[in-house]
A and B are shown apart, each in its own frame.
Chain A
Amino acid sequence: MTHSAAVVIAGVSKAFRQGRRTLEQRLRRAPDTRSEVVAVDGIDLEVSTREVFGLVGPNGAGKSTTVRMIATLLEPTRGKVEVCGVDAVAHPQRARRHLGVVIGGERSVYWKLTGRENLEYFAALYHVPRREVPRRIERVLAEMNLLDRADDYAERYSTGMRQRLSLARALLQEPTVLLLDEPTSGLDPRSVTQLHERIARLRENGHCVLVTTHNMDEADRLCDRVAIIDRGRVVRSGTPGALKAALQVDRRAIVRLSLRPGGADDNLVSDVEDFATIAEKSIDGSDLHMVLHLPLEVDLLPRLVEVSKRHEAVLRTVEIEPVTLRDVFLAATENGGRE
Chain B
Amino acid sequence: MSNLAGEWYAIVATTRKELRLMRRYPAEIISLSVWMLLLPIAYIAQAQAFSADEPAAIDAFARRAGTDDVVMFLYVGWLVYLWLTAVLWGPGLALMQERRRGSFEIVFVSPTSRFTLLFGGAPAQLVPALVVFASAAISMRVFFGVPLGWSELVRWFAVLLVAFPALMALGGLFATVSLSLQDAAGVLQVIRGAFTLLCGVTYPLAVLPDVFRLIGEALPPTHVIGALRAAAGGSQEFAGEVPRLFILLGEAVLLGIVAMTLLSLSVRYARRTGRLGLF
Contact = CB atoms under 8 A, between A and B. Distances in A.
Interface of A: 14, 16-17, 39, 65, 68, 71-75, 93, 96-97, 99, 101, 103-105, 107-110, 112-113, 117, 120-130, 169
B31 interface: no
B10 A127 contact: yes
A337 B21 CA distance: 46
Contacts of B112: 124-127
Contact of B105 (A104, A125, A127): A104
Interface stretch (B169-177, B215-223, B270-278): B270-278
Contact of B273 (A17, A107, A123): A17
A130 B273 contact: no
B276 A117 contact: no
Chain B, interface SS category: helix
A127 B111 contact: yes
B117 to A, nearest CB: 9
Interface residues of B, number: 32
B106 A101 contact: yes
A103 B105 contact: yes
B172 to A, nearest CB: 18
B150 interface: no
B13 A125 contact: yes
A39 B272 CA distance: 13
Contact of A124 (B12, B272, B274): B12
A107 B111 contact: no
B20 interface: yes
A169 B103 CA distance: 12
A101 B9 contact: no
A100 B265 CA distance: 25
Interface in B107-160: 107-112, 116
B1 A129 contact: yes
A33 B6 CA distance: 46
Nearest to B2: A127
B122 to A, nearest CB: 15
Contacts of B12: 124
9 contacts: A73-B109, A97-B111, A107-B103, A110-B21, A120-B16, A124-B9, A125-B14, A125-B107, A125-B110
Contacts of A71: 105, 109
Given A73-B105, A107-B102, A110-B103, A126 B111 contact: yes
B64 interface: no
Nearest to A126: B110
A216 B13 CA distance: 40
Given A73-B276, A127-B111, 5 more contacts: A16-B274, A39-B274, A74-B271, A74-B274, A74-B276
Interface centre among A96, A97, A104, A127 (most CB of B within 10 A): A127
A65 B271 CA distance: 11
A112 B274 contact: no
Contacts of A169: 106
A74 B21 CA distance: 30
Nearest to B109: A101
Nearest to A65: B274
A87 to B, nearest CB: 15
B6 A127 contact: yes
A108 B273 contact: no
B277 A73 contact: yes
Given A75-B272, A96-B111, A101-B109, A112 B25 contact: yes
B274 A68 contact: yes
Interface centre among B10, B17, B20, B101 (most CB of A within 10 A): B17
Interface string B234-277: 00000000000000000000000000000000000001111011
A14 B108 CA distance: 20
Nearest to B25: A112
Contacts of A124: 9-10, 12-14, 112
Interface string B23-53: 0110000000000000000000000000000
Nearest to A130: B9
Nearest to B114: A93
B26 to A, nearest CB: 11
Nearest to B111: A96
A117 B17 contact: yes
A142 B109 CA distance: 24
Nearest to B1: A129
A9 B105 CA distance: 21
Nearest to A114: B20
Contact of B111 (A39, A93, A109, A110): A93
B103 A96 contact: no
